[in-house]
Structure 1
């Protein structure tokens, strides 16, 4: 059965559309199980209630009934399967009280009935049915086979539904307001026209072909490479005004690929082996990306995307060297299967308003650059029908990681209204951002800025931030092709520290692993989030750690604002090891004649064990800072980069609140301060709770800073404590959220209530 299932799945995957896929399934299931009838009923998205089940394909029933027979919710045996969302296996279907006879199907001859639900992400899509003339109960093997097949079919149906194929099959108008979920990559809301990246250059579609002239093919390939090199040089020059030199190294990495033997020489070798240039390039790209694609680590898969991007660019010039430069609409939303940083750079900055990629995470190059440029982005949209989004009206909700396709006039108006409200709110809060964040009962709560790019520093200075609460030092490592040296790192850190002096700047030591990997230092693990990451890597590689610590200390000479923070501390021994290396780095520099002071040192609370060790850790450092992104992930056992479980990731979960309470109390018992630098610090509702917990400081993105200051200035600590006490008695995150949203509205901050309510 497994072999049969595998063959059917392969055939279905190769189908050109949903209709063909369904026909393959009903034909092959009927053939392999040696039964009389196999049919597929799908939820009718054209019906008002969307609860009606429509016969979409069948082998064995009257062909004229396909597309005509429909059952309402709870009607007939198909309706029973849909209602229960579990298999129904009957020896003689007509005897069942829910049986309903449809004369147009010709099914009066069939007695045995087995129906299994087709479910995708908890949503019922349809029912798969098999029938037989004789009276019999289908055995467990048949039931298991159909359940497995239905699960495989669910993804294909969902994708087809989003593509509009279900509606098009019935001749209906394309659906409006198709909502597709992904991962929030960069905050904000964008409304515009979809532009699909590289609709012409498809490496996988290139056929084999013997060249008429090997020399001519080689020459054409070299010309295409030269054109791409020129193209990348032009892009890099264009981005000079948008990104500083450090972040432009990514484009240098692309240029290195174009000079490397692994791409150029291998392609020429394939040409000389008897293939034309496009197919030779295709084979080279496949060889170079195969190893990356098989890796679990998301960042290493991003490297494969870079190789494919270069391959597509070369192919585009091979296929159509005279194609004019693409014209981008005034409000371009860039869409792609595997978007890369250079795709963003190709669009004139004043025209790019949103980004949507079916692959990638919040830590991919595209997401990092989108945040730096202030462009809303949704990543990891698994069911994205990329090929159908060209020139379609789209709405990108970068707050919730949601894409809306073909929005109705009403929805479009609602989001445009939200955009206008956000613009007005931002303008109205501009002056407030320069004021200190003081509660109504006189308690000042510093609000710092999170950063990871040098491009963020100037906006952070102008935003009214009280300092940098988290500088992610791994970002300069991620956009290079090697470990940056001590002098190089020191210059980067100096550029961060100096503009803010004497305001504090917290440099977090290298935090890679999990969903953040380095291309030149691969970490391949079955479970990277629970593996070798953060402080575990740097303690195992003191040569890397000491270089970074020395660079930080050297950068602080003559300044007074350096704070160093260690990530992923889960045990006291790890903290002791890190402190010993920091002391060693300082002693070495003192011996070399550098006048370096010992900076203030902190620990990130993001591993659950650190919550219970908060007081112990705080007694040995100067401050604690809660990284709620990872803490929530670990407490709730939810991968925050996985859209399949995104709904389970909730900072308002009671377990999270109790953990934060314990961490704050532990820090304060030790007489030390505690801040929050994760996403919860930028959530207006959560900020109320953080005030009640007596969190001493917050650190947020520049875009969120003014709004968070507004929340702090609108509540007293006593009122926040009252709300916190109420929330700590609640058992459901939705109830906690509702209470806090209501408190925001009562305080006159209704404009800050989650975009999801609009």
Structure 2
């Protein structure tokens, strides 16, 4: 139970300090209660247990002793065979362990599991749900206390205390047992995923999957190759520099080496990535060469710290800027900053890591994988990617999708240190990972992988075909991006243009606001690359939860704070400079559209339009032949939904950011693990909000685009088509999948599905309807194969 198992036990579901608070309150100030001391000792002893069997034995023995009960037992739920199995006991007959199996839901054990709450009875025998079990000798006991063992809302088993005489267990004793039960949940989950629990049962149970977040669709079957960071920045101490010039020279040399590594990785992966995905290498170069990183480290070296220590402080400061952001895409950039820091430190320390031996069908596994570690694997050998951290918006997830490699992120229960060389199955559609899968699981996923390969081949045949419904209705598909590369590999031509170009990253990686000329160069690049197709450039969306290093803001509630259009209107010089740069970049191309973010009032639009017209007039006076482009607003807060008609009267188009709109409508932070399951874009409230937006836009003949994750979901295509959305904007990896759905259905069919969906009262019902609809046209493999 050492290592990850101990960590799982430590964190459990309830937590030691919170769960033991009632017990602790019985002691005087500054004095721990006997119960709390017992709890700490038990947790420590269980942490040192070599396996789950020994851990369960320790728990039943120590809990029985601490509470003064006659019996302590642990029953675990076997859902596949629908039974409760006695796995450990102190007080009942030892031969009953593993052999006593109650039908799921039967008896008092079943009642505790069914209710998912503690049951405390003076006389269990008199309870109507009591079930006599003669094999254990349990019929002679009266007092009963049963506490559910719960993890992620699922009852894994029951921790039971019995007393020969009638006894109602006290509040501190109940709290003690509940806390131990919650701590036990993590260890049971670990043992189950590691296969240990199966070995403890006579006939075993089917191999369980480890849940995570889907990051890149597809099925990967192969052998785990574990990688880990090459250098530990956190372990670097401060040290007085002997020679400041040499330290600075070493640092700059290390940066140059990392730049060369980036160029090598880019060359290796260019054949497998789209232009949008190749732009990630530009992002790393921007970060690597940013004033914040270079000047910040050199400044600390000049202050007397040696290069590794100066680098550690700079990376920590720079990463924190991203860590504090609410935007998921930008927050993931913190891991990229740390990756670059580790790479620089590796060269500073002149570490020469032993080359990793990649095998055919490598499943790359790690706690915090870097995109550069992925780029190091020969593409023909890479079958899947699994990380215990991260999300679909991390660079790892973006690269995986661009390369067409199945990936699962945030697989928190994966015992990374124990899977090297073992066979893994990665279900990138559902974010699941199977360790050493049984024959049935492996055969089924092998079939799905073959189906997936056939589907991928079918999707490739759609390249350059129009994105139109079976009844001839054209639905333009655009790209969401934040950086573009100068390269033009195949794939970039699939989009009808750029539906959302984020302008934040070049601002964030600097230590001062970029000037008009520097901004113009960036915008000109993307406009030229896609000309004559339209490019929608969103004005700066920073502030509150996304502070700039040189323009910090600290707010109590950044979700509802100073951000987006609010900050740029309050700081008009920032807005005017950016708008001037955008307008100048479009000269002679005329494929520009401007998008205003975080609009919540018509007054904000009026102010922004005045400033845009002012910038336009200034440029004309200065001799620039600029044209005023179409201007739109993002609908991403509820207030904008209810004023969409008034907003549509003022602008040329509307663009719906479904990620933020869903989050604000449902009052759910989708990055908060406690409530993330409540976040669902198919919630009836979200669907009705979209209908209201379209209705308001229709009054003034304005087009509506959807640019959130919903746009790239093949399931949502039915609803968005049925509603009459004019265009969709998404990541490059979703283009062909969405196009496949569009070309397979008619608008009439989409309207029929929408009509039924609007009668549903919850998101789950909508999702089931859409799954049935996509299966009916033979495209179930686009979403969740094998479901």
Q: Report the TM-score, using the length of structure 1 for normalisation.
A: 0.82
**Corresponding residue to 2:779 among 741, 750, 754:** 750
Is 1:606–2:636 an aligned residue pair? yes
Deviation at 1:256, TM superposition (A): 4.4
Deviation at 1:470, TM superposition (A): 1.7
Deviation at 1:326, TM superposition (A): 0.9
Deviation at 1:354, TM superposition (A): 3.1
Within 5 Å, give how 1:675-754 maps onto structure 2.
675-746=705-776, 748-750=777-779, 754=783
In structure 1, how many angstroms separate the alpha carbons of the residues matched to 2:304 and 2:419? 35
Counterpart of 2:284 in structure 1 is 248
In structure 2, how many angstroms separate the alpha carbons of the residues matched to 1:412 and 1:578? 57
* 1:340-379 residue CA offsets vs partner (Å, 9 max, x unmatched): 3333343344433433222223333433444444444333
In structure 1, how many angstroms separate the alpha carbons of the residues matched to 2:224 and 2:87? 33
Counterpart of 2:265 in structure 1 is 239
Counterpart of 2:87 in structure 1 is 55
Greater Cα offset, 378-387 or 258-267: 258-267
Is 1:74–2:105 an aligned residue pair? yes
Counterpart of 2:226 in structure 1 is 196
In structure 2, how many angstroms separate the alpha carbons of the residues matched to 1:641 and 1:387? 27
**Corresponding residue to 2:534 among 504, 524, 528:** 504
**Corresponding residue to 2:334 among 303, 306, 317:** 303
Say whether the 8 Å CA contact 2:324–2:546 is kept in structure 1: no
| Corresponding residue SS for 1:395 | strand
Is 1:41–2:71 an aligned residue pair? no
| Corresponding residue SS for 1:458 | coil
**Corresponding residue to 1:583 among 603, 608, 613:** 613
**Corresponding residue to 2:153 among 118, 122, 145:** 122
Say whether the 8 Å CA contact 2:221–2:446 is kept in structure 1: yes
The 1:127–1:431 alpha-carbon spacing in structure 2 relative to 1, beyond 3 Å, is closer
Counterpart of 1:658 in structure 2 is 688
Say whether the 8 Å CA contact 1:335–1:355 is kept in structure 2: yes
* 1:324-351 residue CA offsets vs partner (Å, 9 max, x unmatched): 2111223333222222333334334443
Deviation at 1:53, TM superposition (A): 2.6
| Corresponding residue SS for 1:577 | helix
Say whether the 8 Å CA contact 1:684–1:752 is kept in structure 2: no
Greater Cα offset, 323-332 or 539-548: 539-548
Is 1:453–2:489 an aligned residue pair? no
In structure 2, how many angstroms separate the alpha carbons of the residues matched to 1:666 and 1:361? 35
Counterpart of 1:366 in structure 2 is 396
**Corresponding residue to 1:151 among 151, 160, 182:** 182
Say whether the 8 Å CA contact 1:632–1:649 is kept in structure 2: yes
In structure 2, how many angstroms separate the alpha carbons of the residues matched to 1:293 and 1:716? 43
Within 5 Å, give how 1:526-605 maps onto structure 2.
528-605=558-635
Say whether the 8 Å CA contact 2:715–2:770 is kept in structure 1: yes
Say whether the 8 Å CA contact 1:363–1:515 is kept in structure 2: no
In structure 1, how many angstroms separate the alpha carbons of the residues matched to 2:112 and 2:180? 16
In structure 2, how many angstroms separate the alpha carbons of the residues matched to 1:163 and 1:651? 34
Within 5 Å, give how 1:394-543 maps onto structure 2.
394-430=424-460, 432-455=462-485, 458=488, 462-477=492-507, 483-512=513-542, 528-543=558-573
Counterpart of 1:274 in structure 2 is none
Q: Report the TM-score, using the length of structure 2 for normalisation.
A: 0.80
In structure 2, how many angstroms separate the alpha carbons of the residues matched to 1:313 and 1:498? 34
In structure 2, how many angstroms separate the alpha carbons of the residues matched to 1:109 and 1:293? 62
Counterpart of 2:16 in structure 1 is none
* 1:232-282 residue CA offsets vs partner (Å, 9 max, x unmatched): 34521312324356223244469849956769999869xxxxxxx9xx999
Say whether the 8 Å CA contact 1:53–1:70 is kept in structure 2: yes
The 1:282–1:697 alpha-carbon spacing in structure 2 relative to 1, beyond 3 Å, is closer
In structure 2, how many angstroms separate the alpha carbons of the residues matched to 1:313 and 1:513? 30
In structure 1, how many angstroms separate the alpha carbons of the residues matched to 2:569 and 2:490? 31
Deviation at 1:719, TM superposition (A): 3.4
**Corresponding residue to 1:672 among 697, 702, 721:** 702
Counterpart of 1:273 in structure 2 is none
In structure 1, how many angstroms separate the alpha carbons of the residues matched to 2:614 and 2:57? 70
Say whether the 8 Å CA contact 1:86–1:116 is kept in structure 2: yes
In structure 1, how many angstroms separate the alpha carbons of the residues matched to 2:42 and 2:613? 62
**Corresponding residue to 1:86 among 99, 111, 117:** 117
In structure 2, how many angstroms separate the alpha carbons of the residues matched to 1:504 and 1:207? 48
The 1:572–1:398 alpha-carbon spacing in structure 2 relative to 1, beyond 3 Å, is farther
| Corresponding residue SS for 2:190 | helix
Say whether the 8 Å CA contact 1:360–1:379 is kept in structure 2: yes
The 1:369–1:704 alpha-carbon spacing in structure 2 relative to 1, beyond 3 Å, is closer
Deviation at 1:756, TM superposition (A): 4.4
Deviation at 1:505, TM superposition (A): 0.9
| Corresponding residue SS for 1:117 | strand
**Corresponding residue to 1:167 among 184, 198, 205:** 198
Question: What number of residue pairs does the alignment pair up?
Answer: 735
Say whether the 8 Å CA contact 1:300–1:517 is kept in structure 2: no
In structure 2, how many angstroms separate the alpha carbons of the residues matched to 1:285 and 1:63? 59
The 1:579–1:207 alpha-carbon spacing in structure 2 relative to 1, beyond 3 Å, is closer
Counterpart of 2:410 in structure 1 is 380
Say whether the 8 Å CA contact 1:202–1:312 is kept in structure 2: no
Unaligned runs of 5+ in 2: 1-19, 25-32, 271-277
The 1:591–1:610 alpha-carbon spacing in structure 2 relative to 1, beyond 3 Å, is same
RMSD: 4.5
| Corresponding residue SS for 2:705 | strand
| Corresponding residue SS for 2:156 | strand
Say whether the 8 Å CA contact 1:501–1:559 is kept in structure 2: yes
Say whether the 8 Å CA contact 2:319–2:334 is kept in structure 1: no
| Corresponding residue SS for 2:752 | helix
Is 1:618–2:637 an aligned residue pair? no
The 1:288–1:615 alpha-carbon spacing in structure 2 relative to 1, beyond 3 Å, is closer
Deviation at 1:184, TM superposition (A): 3.1
Deviation at 1:565, TM superposition (A): 0.9
Say whether the 8 Å CA contact 2:258–2:344 is kept in structure 1: no
Unaligned runs of 5+ in 1: 270-276
The 1:660–1:42 alpha-carbon spacing in structure 2 relative to 1, beyond 3 Å, is same
Counterpart of 2:28 in structure 1 is none
In structure 2, how many angstroms separate the alpha carbons of the residues matched to 1:356 and 1:266? 41
The 1:548–1:187 alpha-carbon spacing in structure 2 relative to 1, beyond 3 Å, is farther
Deviation at 1:44, TM superposition (A): 4.3
Deviation at 1:120, TM superposition (A): 1.5
The 1:635–1:406 alpha-carbon spacing in structure 2 relative to 1, beyond 3 Å, is farther
The 1:130–1:289 alpha-carbon spacing in structure 2 relative to 1, beyond 3 Å, is farther
The 1:471–1:396 alpha-carbon spacing in structure 2 relative to 1, beyond 3 Å, is farther
